[in-house]
Amino acid sequence: MAQRFGGKYSPDGDNSPPAEQRRRRVQVNPAGGRSNVMFIPAIPLVATTLGDGAVPMTLGLAGAGLWTLSAWLLREGLMAHAAFEDRKVARRPALPRKIFAAVGFGFGTALAVMAHQNTADILSPLLFGICTTALHLAAFGIDPLKSKGMEGIDTFQQDRVARVVDEAEKHLSAMTDALLRAGDRQARAKLEDFQDAARTLIRTVEEDPRDLTAARKYLGVYLQGARDASIKFADIYSRTQDTDARNDYIALLDDLEQNFAARTQKSLLDDRSDLTIEIDVLRERLSREGVRLER
């Protein structure tokens, strides 16, 4: 879809701060090309075993299937690991996808060797499989095996937060999809700024589930309303290119961004107040025991 050129000096240019001054982070695909390459070996394996008889063909197809499944598990595992590292509070993945992918590549390699050799030797495929598994683990690592930052957090509350966060992320993704239809650079830039503010609040709630009650309206009702407004704006602007509609939508996002940032700041201040209370209570208890602390 063609997009109108926009810049600092264009009539309807984007006068927002430069990229280096924005809070927006560059999102890099955690899987990337290195995991996509792992889908390729299955193709020559199938091509070289189809005409070699029933047994080699079956072994080749089985090995190619294991390689493809393992490559998909590797992609999912890399993305789950990146999400785990991006958060201060996170549970370990329920399924160790990268470890399963390494084992799957090992079994697939063993089947590929058996499909291409004419002897009944079992040791060679086994050794090739073990080496493949070891090299895979060395190249891509293993999954997180321990949760982090979960001490003192109610797991029931954390599950409630996870459901609210998943719904909030769906709303944010729907807004991005809607703005693609509008094709306006300035509106998309402002949407990314708002999404950064919303995700900052999401991370704050994830780190302290006690903030869920206060933030639930923001992550539920407000985000749903912003999603509906984004869809309606995209429908109108894609047909009419109405600048008034765009300005109203950008003003709405600006107001929402400020409100979400204020809610996040209030949560942080509340956390600091709780810490101050805990420190004062501890000082009082120590003073009763005759221990004096220098302030």
**Residue 24 predicted with pLDDT over 70:** no
Tens of pLDDT, residue by residue over 152-164, are 565 666 777 778 8
Greatest alpha-carbon pair distance for the chain in Å reads 88
Q: Any idea which of 79-83, 193-197, 198-202, 212-216 has the lowest mean pLDDT? A: 212-216
pLDDT band, very low/low/confident/very high, at 17 (cuts 50, 70, 90) = very low
Q: Any idea which of 78-87, 109-118, 271-280 has the lowest mean pLDDT? A: 271-280
- The half-sphere exposure of 178 on its side-chain side, counting CA atoms within 13 A, is 22
Q: Which of 15-24, 63-72, 210-219, 267-276 has the highest average model confidence (pLDDT)?
A: 63-72
Domain boundaries, the chain: 32-140, 152-288
pLDDT band, very low/low/confident/very high, at 268 (cuts 50, 70, 90) = low
Q: Which of 13-27, 59-73, 113-127 has the highest average model confidence (pLDDT)?
A: 59-73
pLDDT band, very low/low/confident/very high, at 19 (cuts 50, 70, 90) = very low
Sequence-distant (≥ 6) Cβ neighbours of residue 138 within 8 angstroms: none
pLDDT band, very low/low/confident/very high, at 165 (cuts 50, 70, 90) = confident
Q: What is the pTM of this model?
A: 0.62
Tens of pLDDT, residue by residue over 95-142, are 899 999 999 999 999 999 999 887 778 899 999 999 999 999 999 999
pLDDT at res. 1 = 44
For range 237-264, the mean pLDDT:
88
Tens of pLDDT, residue by residue over 27-51, are 566 667 778 899 999 999 999 988 8
Q: Any idea which of 115-129, 172-186, 209-223, 263-277 has the lowest mean pLDDT? A: 263-277
For range 9-19, the mean pLDDT:
46
For range 225-239, the mean pLDDT:
89
Tokens of 152: 């003192």
Average pLDDT score, the chain: 80
Sequence-distant (≥ 6) Cβ neighbours of residue 230 within 8 angstroms: 174, 175, 178, 179, 191, 249
pLDDT band, very low/low/confident/very high, at 9 (cuts 50, 70, 90) = very low
Given a contact cutoff of 8 angstroms between Cβ atoms, the answer to whether 43 and 66 are in contact is: no
